[in-house]
Structure 1
Amino acid sequence: FIDCKAIEEKKAWALIDAGYDGGFNVVGGAYDSVNYQNANHSVRVTDDFMNAVLRDGEFHTRSVTDGRKLEGFKARNLMRKMADAAWICGDPGIQYDTTINDWHPCINTSRINASNPCSEYMFLDDSACNLASLNLRKFQRTSGPAAGDLDPESFRRACSTTITAMEIIVDNSAYPTERIGDNSYKFRPLGLGFANLGALLMSRSLPYDSEPGRAYAAAITAIMCGEAYKTSAKIAADATGPFAGYADNETPFLKVMRKHRGSVERIDSALVPYDLMQAARDSWDEAIDLGQKYGFRNGQTTVLAPTGTIAFLMDCDTTGVEPDIAIVKYKRLVGGGLLKIVNHTVPEALSKLGYTEKECEAIIAHIDAKDTIEGAPHLKDEHLAVFDCAFRSSTGSRSIHYMGHIRMMAAVQPFLSGAISKTVNLPTECTVEDIEDAYIQAWKMGLKAIAVYRDGCKRTQPLSTSLKQATSTGSASQDSTNAAALAGGNTSPIVAIATAAVNVDPLDLLAPDERRLVEQLRLRKSRPAGPPMANRYKLPDERASFTHKFSIGGHEGYLTVGLYPDGTPGEIFVRMAKEGSVIAGLMDLFATSISLALQHGVPLHVLIEKFKGTRFEPSGFTGNQEIPIATSIMDYLFRWLALRFPVEGASPLVERHPAARLAQLDLPRIPVLSKDFISVEVKSGDASSIPVVEVAAKDRAWVQETDAPPCHECGTLMVRNGACHKCPNCGSTSGCS
């Protein structure tokens, strides 16, 4: 089991060297052809095993079914085997069984035997946990002398509200098996956590690998866990009582709660703001006081999940308890392509450190150009640690030491019901002995689990610190350090690589599909064929617009024009409300295509020339004096746009109708009807007499048929003829014979 994933990794290297694609999720590629690529492997070890490693003693495996002692091994050899496999591929991780069960509040029911793949949810077999995370930067004060500090009261309220919501979800969730459902209802485990810790510390100018940074993180985690258990106890008191398994586990449960509370006093309060430290104490005091009286509603409440996806949704710069991977990093997307991710916390940290606006601008410009903050103008050497990240940048030399990761995990672990899903990052040149040391130190510091990753150990990885690394997909020349591991079995020594300066075509560094694209672009450049590519300029999220109502042959619609800040049109929307789904869909797609054309720089007058004058139904009279007759909807829309957005300095594309110009004059208007259409009788007496209007029979249709359409042949208002309409002037009908 220890070796299996490392063996498959070596197979993938051999396939890549043979010419197979080394990219992610490539059907038929190297990693698609080997096993265990979608699994996280962990080995569970006890204190007895770890002590045997230290004294170079023996360790005996035991039968799973009956506990019999089986084959014996040198514990140190097994530890070397695990470290060697992790050096090659990052697996297996290690879980510390004794520590896990020492902090298990429901030990009377059963011990904890395993975890989820990421190793943060550790509880009873066949149980489930719904997770939630809070973005820590959303709780920073924005003004006052403590601006930038986390506001403990708002954070406590958010923890309480979230735990309440998660508790409600337990009974409204579906579970994959009946047994998992039963245990989830009986023990009601929850997993509240947080994200963006690394960015929070950076914004406060606290180095991730520092005592102040660890104390601050510990206080935050203590508040979260204490408030979660306090809320759980309040729910038990106010509503439904403790979880069903609490009575059997009351003694170990309260014992673990007191261990959490005791850990609060081991936080260095001199390094933490007073209100934050006091909030941690208060939350745990209240949690234990309520729990002793009423019990707890939930078997566990907190974990630290990786938050890999939801951190993006929450607009976090860092995930979970992790520091940033790098100030600037490139993410390979599953569907292809790259995403450049820049840490947005740097300007705030620089300001906190006292740099002027101009100095900040110069430092940011250096980061944009070099993908690193090292060597930036004005930046003091003593401030570099604030911006240290998990990996070295492609042009820098600094990174967080692997012990910095482990010490941060050790600072927050005492305030978690479960464990921490986090990667301990090691540099490419680390040794197998370094990984062994990481495993041992993590155990000594009280972690429940640890996973390591050596930068570049896999031929392809989702995050990298340089564009060149990000665009490489595992060619044989990419990571020649692994070639020695292929031949050297499990010894995995550090291999010194001398890179000769040779003339290499950059195309050789690309994947086949990328190489073909570049070759096509080269060919296009040498022999132009087709128009140049245009850039799209989108409208701002908030933009001015106006809507014009129109009617063509009795068919009504609405045209909305969105404007750029300079007043030029950048998008149109056409709504034909009563014309059915087909016409409405076609008009919507047409408007979208015109909008894309405008945003890609196609001049409006070119579109007007193309579409005005098109002829198809519906057509006819419009009721617009400027455009009295239109030959189609497109004809009307583009003639109207031509009138509203004329080309400056050019002759108008569309002339206004003479009737429209006449209508602009302030002339009296007298309605002309037949002589007997209206007769007005003003009765003597009261000055406010009401005119009496009498309508002749032959003109009554003009008044009564207010919904009648105009004739599509001559424009005369039609009259009802049964279920249809007919024209009294030319005899045309709207469809009936």
Structure 2
Amino acid sequence: MHLPRRLTEAGVNPLDQVQFETRSSVITNPDGSVVFEMNDVEVPKDWSQLATDIVVSKYFRKAGVPGTDRETSVRQVVTRVARTIREGGESLGGYFDSLEDADTFEAELSALLIHQHGAFNSPVWFNCGLYHRYGIEGSPGNYFWDPETDSIQPTTNAYEHPQCSACFIQGIQDDLMSIFDLVRSEARVFKYGSGTGTNFSCLRGVNEILSGGGTSSGLMSFLEVFDRAAGATKSGGTTRRAAKMVVLDMDHPEIIDFIEWKSKEEKKARALIAAGYPADFNGEAYHTVSGQNSNNSVRVTDEFMRAVLSDGTWETRNRTDGAVTKTYKAKDLMRRIAKAAWACADPGLQYDTTINDWHTCRDVDRIYASNPCSEFVFLDDTACNLASINLMKYLGEDGVFDVDGFRHACSIFLLAQEILVDFSSYPTEKIARNSHDYRPLGLGYANLGALLMVRGVPYDSEEARSTAAAITAIMHGRAYWTSAQVARKKGPFAGFEASHDSMMRVMGKHRDAAYAISPGSCPADLLAAAHEEWDECLRAGERHGYRNAQTTVLAPTGTIGLLMDCDTTGVEPDFALVKFKKLAGGGYFKIVNESVPRALRGLGYSQEQIQAIVIHTRGTQSLAGVPHINRDALSDRGLARDEIDRIEAALPAALDLAGAFNAKNLEETTVRRLGFGPEAMPSGDHILAALGFTSTQVEEANEIACGTMTLEGAPHLTEEHLPVFDTANRCGRKGRRFIAPMGHVRMMAAVQPFLSGAISKTVNLPHEATVEEVENIYIEGWKMGLKAIALYRDGCKQSQPLNSVADKNHVTEKGEKDQVGKTEEVPLAASAREVVPVPPTAAPERPVLPGTSPEAVEDTARRYRLATKRRGFTQEARVGGQKIYLRTGEYDDQKLGEIFVDMAKEGAAYRSLMNCFAIAVSLGLQYGVPLDEYVDVFTFTRFEPHGAVTGHPNIKFSTSVMDYLFRVLGYEYLGRTDFLQVKPEEIQPGSDAIADTLLVPGDPAGTARPGGTGQDIPASAHVTEGSPGATAGVAGQAAVPQTPVIEVAASAAPPAGEKSGNGTSRGGMSTSRAGELEAIAGTVLAIEDRPPVSRIMASLGLGSMAVTPARASVASTGNAMSDQMTQLMGDAPFCDVCGHITVRNGTCYRCLNCGNSIGCS
């Protein structure tokens, strides 16, 4: 091919024209601990820090590079990829008319990559060029096409023919060996981080006759095998789950079981979670049930959909003889699908008739399945390499789309992908053969949502859909036109002649669709370009044929979208108007999307009006002019100037005022004066309350200083322009607008006619959506001509993390109650250092098994006392910023017998509850409850405080205090390492070596710790036996049952008359509550040992003035960006690389801190 230059000049390396700078790349956990760090890396000056972190952490080669042992510059990475593909094209022959054309190709591709105009899928960045540039060799095992013999050969070096595809479809036969061959080949795909999909409909149903005379165990029994295999591959490799798609035709005999498979398993998981098993997706509840390692889709035909609408019937049939097995009402089957999807997001639908109507090789075989994200739909045993173009790079400041530049980028990327087909290797021989014969490609784009917003076009509008359709038609037509130009030199794909009629029929359908775009709502220049493109494309194909059976899809673009600094991914709208920009020196800076000011300028707003709208959305990021909470008000409340300066400096990076009023920004003396203990890490909400600000005052100040996070209610902005700024989620505390679910469906329908494949996009529904709405979306998707659709109702998964919102309910000193959400009462418990016998009635009633008398059960409930002098260890750590001391007491055989938990020196409700919890656990241990039962029940429980853990060498993140405590105990006493983030090299359960601090004999309080500071460790509740003068028991010997007593240590009371900063006493308890305590204490204290209630009151520091109870709310994660993500969606999990909250991206999730994709995107 002859290639014109557009971005480069002959004889000039485009990389030499780029201004580079040296940076550091640091990726941290929410607590600031470093996950990845690499210094002195060279990147283009105009790349963001996030794009820098992604390319450095994910795509830089870290070993084997001659000289430096690692790549240190983006220049090296781009050269490695572009030059290797160019050399691949030269060695395969026929791609370039001359050496000058080869030079042009390399230069233009390099320019597109370095300027973020486009990007390949991750396997290209990972693998391409490692052998050809650096001589790095990989393990054998894949297969490639050998042009000299025209045959498929096994590789001897994986990087000589690198694996460059991310998407795979594999077939299966109704044969036992074929079934287990697929298990093996799936594992090979998973091993390299790719995803695969298969249609299992050919497998015979349960009780169908086998050739040996027996009956089949059925499809579902084998699906469980595949599910377990995928889960094991995930567990053996990384914490990222295997990406897998399971498809089943609607007429399979086991279709009901398949439809309800996940929803039934979800019910089992819920029951296990209710029984106390961990709710985490990787926890035991979800590990126990099946069907959790794949996306499931039902394949439906037009015949079935028409039966649904006409209230007809539907038959399922045997796979062996075609006999009817059962007859159903089609509507009932559709309702079952909708109910299951409503409950657990699966199954999705794939519209079989539509898919095969647009199938370019229908004369060869039907399309049966898709890849896990459903954008690649083609023949079985094929692969697809993806590339995406950044649409915003082609939008001028005047709002005009650069059609010619976009066409040029499509041609260069399509040619590069075509070269990669035969240059690459594949996991199986079949996939290698079919990929060579049919050569499917996946060119797509990203940043459509941002482009529409900047042009001032609402995402859910006819103009948006027409614009998107025209751009997609141009891309699709140019891709096939380029394919025809390659075919002119190298010939069409091997299966073209057999598929000529179906191929040209589908090409005609694409052209007809281009001419069907509405001229009334589509920009004239884009419409004319789409028509021209398809006229040329069809003529070129009629003359030369096409080199590729497929050319385009719309992929999720999760990681590569961030690499290109895209605001939006794939065909998605934006998810928020305010985001946090990563800074080179670490941290984040809150900004309004760049799309917003550009859109406002295009809509005719003045610079002053735009500034006012931006401030309304983002806030002033200053204390100046803020009502109630300003510099004067804070100074009047005793804050020093440097403290106020630090708070104000923190505002640009804070989601709200609570994020700036961090204890770290205050002096320790100020925190103490406000009534918080020296070990406490109070949240910003608590500090604001302690300063005397009401919820109304905080909210009003928030709107000025930190903004509303939404354009709703902004000054100057007219009502008619609000839809331009609608996003996928409600934005901010007061935001009410978001794109309706059908708006997403209509956008998918607009672009679907201009894609060889389908669209990876999930239709997100609010939690309150109904089964009927789900069913309607599935029906409308079919009517609108989609090939596949999946949806997700927020909150339908039990495994989602606890949602954290900015509008927290609390009671102020004036008794105000914020009614935005539910108010939960947190009971305030007491602590005392006196001996408090537990009434016998406090023991839980034991269940009586059939055939067992209650007396027999009671007789077995004997307590095993600890020696009065015993050993244990002390572990100090912080969970989500909250300091915790865990102390243990051991039997003589080093088995755990009691625990002590303290969270602060000065009493608080939470601390007291933890004391009581420690007592309950200690009693259970001494009555014989196995420690592993506690560990299994309480690990992965999720509530605040949670987040980063500091102070423990192996545990770096926990989902709650309970989770942290039992991770420690499970590790120290059971030797369990499955829930440790940092695995120890050698485990010695129970040994002194692994205890951070030991209680020294003769010093049970731990005040003289070996190697320690000698400071007094705060004590907490622990269980003893009998009175203080009781005789020591023998470890392991049954003791005479007697009334246990609880010894509770409390902090000393504050000096008489000392008040907290808000005019209240430090105890944190009202006078009325103190009276309740006196009444309760009088009923539980043993008569002979009962101290005066006044002593209990004094030990708690109780005063006579009413105070502000701690808020019953979910606290901040400590990271503004993560807090924002939890506001926007309730289902986003933590990133398994850096611990930040992720954002939904198609059927997967992506992390905006490190760029990691969770799933298959």
- 2:327 corresponding residue in structure 1: 72
Q: Which amino acid is the alignment partner of residue 766 of structure 2?
A: P
Secondary structure of 1:149's aligned partner: coil
Is 2:653 the counterpart of 1:403?
no
1:249 paired residue among 499, 522, 535: 499
Q: Distance in 1 between matches of 2:600 and 2:776?
A: 35
Give the distance between the partners of 1:39 and 1:340, measured in 2 at CA: 37
- Aligned-pair distance for 1:33? 4.6
> Partner of 1:297 in structure 2?
547
State the secondary structure of the residue aligned to 2:480: helix
1:417 to 743, 753, 756: 756
Aligned partner letter, 2:264: I
Cα 1:41–1:159 shift into 2, 3 Å: same
Q: Distance in 2 between matches of 1:104 and 1:298?
A: 13
Could you tell me how far apart the structure 1 residues matched to 2:597 and 2:360 are?
44
- Aligned pair in 2 of structure 1 residues 427, 176: CA closer, same or farther (>3 Å)? same
Quick check: 1:329–1:464 contact (8 Å CA) kept in 2? no
The one-character-per-residue Cα deviations of 1:650-706 (angstroms, maximum 9, x if unpaired) are xxxxxxxxxxxxxxxxxxxxxxxxxxxxxxxxxxxxxxxxxxxxxxxxxxxxxxxxx
Once residues 326 and 194 of structure 1 are traced to their aligned partners in structure 2, the CA distance between those partners, rounded to angstroms, is 20
Q: How big is each residue's C-alpha offset from its partner over 1:400-420, in whole Å with a ceiling of 9 and x where there is no partner? A: 111111111111000001111
Does 1:428 pair with 2:767?
Answer: yes
Report the counterpart of residue 10 of structure 1 in structure 2.
Answer: 267
Find the residue that maps to 1:252 and give its secondary structure. helix
Please say if 1:101 is aligned against 2:440: no
- Larger mean CA deviation between 358-367 and 446-455 belongs to 358-367
Letter in 2 for 1:56: D
Give the match for residue 277 of structure 1.
Answer: 527
Amino acid paired to 2:514: V
**Aligned with residue 164 of structure 1, among 415, 419, 431:** 415
Please name the residue that 1:318 is paired with: 568
Q: Give the structure 1 partner of residue 110 of structure 2.
A: none
Query: Structure 2 CA distance, aligned partners of 1:279 and 1:465?
Result: 47
Deviation readout 1:222-274 (Å, 9 max, x if unpaired): 0000000000000000x210000000011110010000000011111232232
The residue matched to 2:388 in structure 1 has which SS? strand
Please give the TM-score of this superposition, normalised by the length of structure 1.
Answer: 0.61
Paired position in structure 2 for 1:133: 388
Q: How does 1:6-405 map to 2 (within 5 A)?
A: 6-23=263-280, 25=282, 28=283, 30-65=285-320, 67-142=322-397, 147-237=398-488, 239-328=489-578, 343-368=593-618, 369-393=707-731, 395=733, 396-405=735-744
Partner residue, 2:641: none
CA RMSD in angstroms, aligned pairs only: 3.0
Q: Structure 2: how far apart are the matches of 1:436 and 1:276?
A: 35
Task: For 1:157 and 1:404, locate their aligned partners in 2 and report how far apart those are by CA, in whole Å.
Answer: 31
**1:439 to 1:330, Cα distance in 2 relative to 1, 3 A:** farther
Matched residue of 2:549: which SS?
coil
AA of the residue aligned to 1:411: A
Match of 2:824 among 493, 502, 527: 502
Provide the C-alpha distance between the structure 2 equivalents of 1:457 and 1:306, rounded to a whole number of angstroms: 22
Query: Matches of 2:433 and 2:802 in 1, distance apart?
Result: 40
Q: Classify 1:503/1:19 alpha carbon distance in 2 versus 1 (closer, same or farther; 3 Å).
A: same
Aligned partners of 1:363, 1:17: CA distance in 2, in Å? 47
Question: Whole-Å Cα distance in 2 between the matches of residues 172 and 131 of structure 1?
Answer: 15
Distance 1:165 1:5 in 2: 40
C-alpha contact 2:465 2:747 (8 A) present in aligned 1? yes
Distance (Å, rounded) in 1 between the aligned partners of 2:467 and 2:905: 56
Q: Report the residue type matching 1:322 in the other structure.
A: E
Alpha-carbon shift at residue 13 of structure 1 (Å): 3.2
2: distance between equivalents of 1:307 and 1:246? Answer: 30
Change (3 A) 1:8 1:295: same
**Pair 1:127–1:244, CA change in 2 (3 A):** same
SS at structure 1 position matched to 2:378: coil
For the residues of structure 1 that align with 2:415 and 2:448, how far apart are their CA atoms?
23
| Structure 1 counterpart of 2:1070 | none
Q: 1:422 to 1:59 in 2, by over 3 A?
A: same
Q: SS at 1:36's partner residue?
A: coil
The offset of 1:465, in angstroms, is 9.4
**Which whole-Å CA distance do the structure 2 matches of 1:452 and 1:219 have between them?**
26
Query: CA separation in 1, counterparts of 2:392 and 2:578?
Result: 20
Paired AA for residue 385 in structure 2: N
* Distance (whole Å) between structure 2 residues aligned to residue 420 and residue 126 of structure 1: 20
2:743 counterpart letter in structure 1:
G
Change (3 A) 1:275 1:523: same
**Aligned equivalents of 2:290, 2:589: Cα separation in 1:** 28
Distance 1:248 1:178, change over 3 A: same
Which structure 2 residue ranges, 5 or more long, are not aligned? 1-257, 582-586, 619-706, 809-818, 829-876, 886-901, 908-1161
Q: Distance in 2 between matches of 1:282 and 1:465?
A: 51
Cα 1:66–1:109 change in 2 (3 A) is: farther
1:429-468 pair list within 5 angstroms: 429-459=768-798, 461=800, 466=805
TM-score for the superposition, normalised by structure 2? 0.40
Q: 1:113 to 1:188 in 2, by over 3 A?
A: same
- Whole-angstrom distance in 1 between the partners of 2:593 and 2:771: 32
- CA 1:515 to 1:351, structure 2 compared with 1: closer, same or farther past 3 Å? same
Aligned length: 482
Where 1:410 maps in the other structure, the secondary structure is: helix
Against the structure 1 CA distance between its residues 70 and 33, is the aligned structure 2 distance closer, same or farther, given a 3 Å change threshold? closer
Larger Rg: 1
CA contact (8 A) 2:807 2:820 kept: no
**CA offsets per residue over residues 147-197 of structure 1, 9 Å max, x none?**
122211100000011100000000011111000110000000001111111
Structure 1 residue ranges without an equivalent (≥5): 332-336, 470-496, 507-512, 528-737
Deviation of 1:70 (Å): 3.0
Q: CA deviation at 1:359?
A: 2.5
Letter in 1 for 2:330: A
